[in-house]
Chains A and B, each alone.
Chain A
Amino acid sequence: MEQYVVKPGPEAFLPPAAASMGIVLPDPGEAHYEGRIIDEEDAYEQIARKLLGAKVPTIFPGPLVLWKWNEKAGKKAEAIRELANALPARLIPMADYRPKYPKIDPEVEINPNHPNLTIWHNKIDACIFVGVHCHQANLALKIIRGGTDCFTIALCAQAGHEDACASFRDINVEKIKKLTETVKRLKSEGVESQALPFTQIKMTRAGRVA
């Protein structure tokens, strides 16, 4: 049997979990790209190029970075904002994992139980998951792979995500800043962002204000 490759979908009615297809997570100092283990240093440029080449690059910050539950989370959130500005990329929050029925507002939020709605609605072709609890991230990444053609990237603070098309492990403020620096360097070398014009959403507890 050929080695499974973790590529954007749409893959299947119910795609398999990549770990069940023999994809193994990276060890410290490594990353993975489409299921292949690569050196972490090489991953910065590959991922930065993927984001710059996307028409609707989007960052989904999860509850671990949306809420300032410790100082590190606050600093990580600032670093993510810098990355979003540098690309540029939309920021659409995953505030929590509560199932929302009958459905979410896909313009301003993403939910791990039906993340494909947000991807489809906004025509997102490359996205970053960051600050999402690992189980919820894998759930959402697999559903996205199943039903959309979005290239998924996970910036994971733990062991990484084989269900994403690309992922870092042990992500911290320094690594996010390094990814931002890589984006800036590529742009200075002439790689142009292909992102379509957009306005970053602004929200309060009452909902969208801009």
Chain B
Amino acid sequence: MNKKVEPKSNKILVSESVNLGEEGLKGQKVTDPNVMMFESEREPNFLTGSEVIKAAIKRANLDVMIAYPITPQSEAAALIGELFAEGYVREYFRGESEFAVMSQCAGAAFGGARVFTTTAGPGTLRAMENFPMWAGSRLPIQVCVTCRGINSPLSIQPDTLEMAYLLETGMLVWHAETAQDLYDWILGGFMVSEQPDVHLPLALCCDGFFVTHTKDTVMLQGEEMCLPRYDPYRSPVPCMDMECPPIRMMRDPFIMKSNYISYMTHASWQQEIHAAVERSRKHTLPIMNGSLIDTENVDREILIVASGTAVSQGREAIRLLEEEGIKVGLVKIKSIRPFPTEEVREATANAKTIFVPEFNIRGWLAREIKAILPNNERVIAGPHVAGGMTMPSEVIVEEIKKGLGIKSATMDRRG
């Protein structure tokens, strides 16, 4: 139903069995995530997205990180290796391929560990079989997906097409716009996906290079604090039990028993995974400032609705249009799964035209939005760039003017 959940308390629920104040790795103090995320003092740091991933993992009380090189996530994976060498991560090793990495992540999570990994583009697709397996097994693994091109001819450059493949895996899928989002959501992501009523993997996506390889000012807490450890006793399925589902089902699946009951059990199992995605809404609200979307001036007739760095480009396009007297509002979608259906409906209720700029050629976000809005002829899918192209704000300006029937200088000689 994709129902909007109103925040009752802006608080992260923490396991009662966690001993706050005890010593974590390297003498860090295990801190209530509410204090750590919302109350503790932060200092500005000028970092790349990759360095920000390292900074978050340093404070994440992480058990296992498994690495495999693929651009543009390789730097982050290597930096977490440094954390292991320094003693801030309990276990770290390199897998044989992305498929192996994601399988090894599953093994570690089945054993009750907090697990993190990073991947990108063809690596995401190579590992794909594992993602619905993670979700079906209710493993709260976090994978940071630094999006890049996936198709042949090869491109290592930014492109968000791989996110479209993640949408129905049963994972939570979030899309960070900035390095600050990335930092806050890595830490908050563990707290959401490890809730017993959620307990699902999280694909935390960001746009490769634009976020991972550019520097930005990011507000970080002190290094002396870390998250509470993952509590596997709250898992909604037994930990590493070879005789019971979900592990049992990998060698003895329901489907091998050809009867109605087995099929219905499998269908119900799938429903429960997607029910858990829905349950994540209320736990995500504190992490995302009270809503799965951010809005600016949504009372205007023209809106840009976007996710990831397309939001930043949209924001600049709005400034340029404002100089010409054209007023445009903005909706930033932060969570793609669960999808903020009601929130987007409310935010776009008064809009006459909705533009959806995307860093992929197919426009999967525009499709998602068209599927939930009444009068969806209002939605203009574009502009689109892909394969590593930048999306100058002027391109969005041109698209909006074209959509409104206003003549504008063409951008076809740029690039």
Given contacts A96-B243, A97-B238, A139-B272, contact A134 B197 (CB under 8 A): yes
Q: Do residues A99 and B257 form an inter-chain contact, with CB atoms below 8 A?
A: yes
Given contacts A97-B245, A142-B268, A159-B196, contact A21 B235 (CB under 8 A): no
* 8 Å CB contact of B271 from A1, A16, A28, A159: A16
Within 8 Å of chain A (Cβ to Cβ): is B371?
A: no
For the complex formed, measure the closest distance between the CB of B226 and the CB atoms of chain A, giving whole angstroms: 24
Given contacts A113-B262, A114-B265, A134-B236, contact A18 B275 (CB under 8 A): yes
Within 8 Å of chain B (Cβ to Cβ): is A158?
A: yes
Q: Do residues B196 and A134 form an inter-chain contact, with CB atoms below 8 A?
A: yes
Give Cα distance in the complex from A209 to B404, angstroms: 81
- Residues of chain B in range 244-271 having any CB-CB distance to chain A below 8 Å: 244-245, 248, 252, 254, 257, 261-262, 264-265, 267-269, 271
Residues of A within 8 A of B282 (CB): 24-25
Given contacts A99-B248, A159-B195, contact A142 B265 (CB under 8 A): no
Give Cα distance in the complex from A20 to B237, angstroms: 20
* Mask of B377-410 contacts with A, CB within 8 angstroms, 1/0: 0000000000000000000000000000000000
Give Cα distance in the complex from A99 to B197, angstroms: 23
For the complex formed, measure the closest distance between the CB of A104 and the CB atoms of chain B, giving whole angstroms: 11
Give Cα distance in the complex from A166 to B37, angstroms: 34
Q: Do residues B257 and A139 form an inter-chain contact, with CB atoms below 8 A?
A: no
Q: Do residues B8 and A27 form an inter-chain contact, with CB atoms below 8 A?
A: yes
Within 8 Å of chain B (Cβ to Cβ): is A79?
A: no
Give Cα distance in the complex from A90 to B246, angstroms: 29
Give Cα distance in the complex from A200 to B257, angstroms: 33
Residues of A within 8 A of B248 (CB): 98-99
Within 8 Å of chain B (Cβ to Cβ): is A138?
A: yes
* 8 Å CB contact of B234 from A1, A24, A143, A158: A158
How many chain B residues touch A (CB < 8 A): the figure is: 38
Given contacts A27-B8, A99-B248, contact A138 B272 (CB under 8 A): yes
Q: Do residues A20 and B271 form an inter-chain contact, with CB atoms below 8 A?
A: yes
Q: Do residues A139 and B275 form an inter-chain contact, with CB atoms below 8 A?
A: no
Give Cα distance in the complex from A91 to B254, angstroms: 28
Residues of B within 8 A of A24 (CB): 3, 5, 279, 282
For the complex formed, measure the closest distance between the CB of A65 and the CB atoms of chain B, giving whole angstroms: 14
Q: Do residues B261 and A135 form an inter-chain contact, with CB atoms below 8 A?
A: no
Q: Do residues A25 and B1 form an inter-chain contact, with CB atoms below 8 A?
A: no
How many chain A residues touch B (CB < 8 A): the figure is: 36
Within 8 Å of chain A (Cβ to Cβ): is B54?
A: no
Give Cα distance in the complex from A22 to B237, angstroms: 23
Residues of A within 8 A of B236 (CB): 133-136, 138, 158
Give Cα distance in the complex from A35 to B258, angstroms: 34
Q: Do residues A158 and B275 form an inter-chain contact, with CB atoms below 8 A?
A: no
Residues of B within 8 A of A20 (CB): 1, 271, 274-275, 278
* 8 Å CB contact of A17 from B252, B264, B275: B275
Q: Do residues A19 and B8 form an inter-chain contact, with CB atoms below 8 A?
A: no
Give Cα distance in the complex from A160 to B1, angstroms: 20
* Mask of A149-167 contacts with B, CB within 8 angstroms, 1/0: 0000000001110110000
Q: Do residues A19 and B268 form an inter-chain contact, with CB atoms below 8 A?
A: no
Give Cα distance in the complex from A53 to B13, angstroms: 36
Give Cα distance in the complex from A163 to B257, angstroms: 26
Enumerate 21 A-B pairs (CB-CB under 8 Å) in ascending A order. Answer: A14-B267, A17-B272, A17-B275, A19-B276, A20-B271, A22-B3, A25-B197, A96-B244, A98-B244, A113-B261, A133-B238, A134-B199, A135-B237, A136-B237, A136-B245, A138-B275, A142-B271, A143-B265, A143-B268, A158-B197, A159-B13
Within 8 Å of chain A (Cβ to Cβ): is B376?
A: no
Within 8 Å of chain A (Cβ to Cβ): is B58?
A: no
Within 8 Å of chain B (Cβ to Cβ): is A101?
A: yes
Give Cα distance in the complex from A24 to B195, angstroms: 14
Within 8 Å of chain A (Cβ to Cβ): is B9?
A: yes
Give Cα distance in the complex from A22 to B279, angstroms: 9
8 cross-chain pairs, A with B, having the tightest CB-CB distances, nearest first: A22-B3, A134-B236, A17-B275, A19-B275, A159-B197, A135-B236, A158-B196, A17-B271
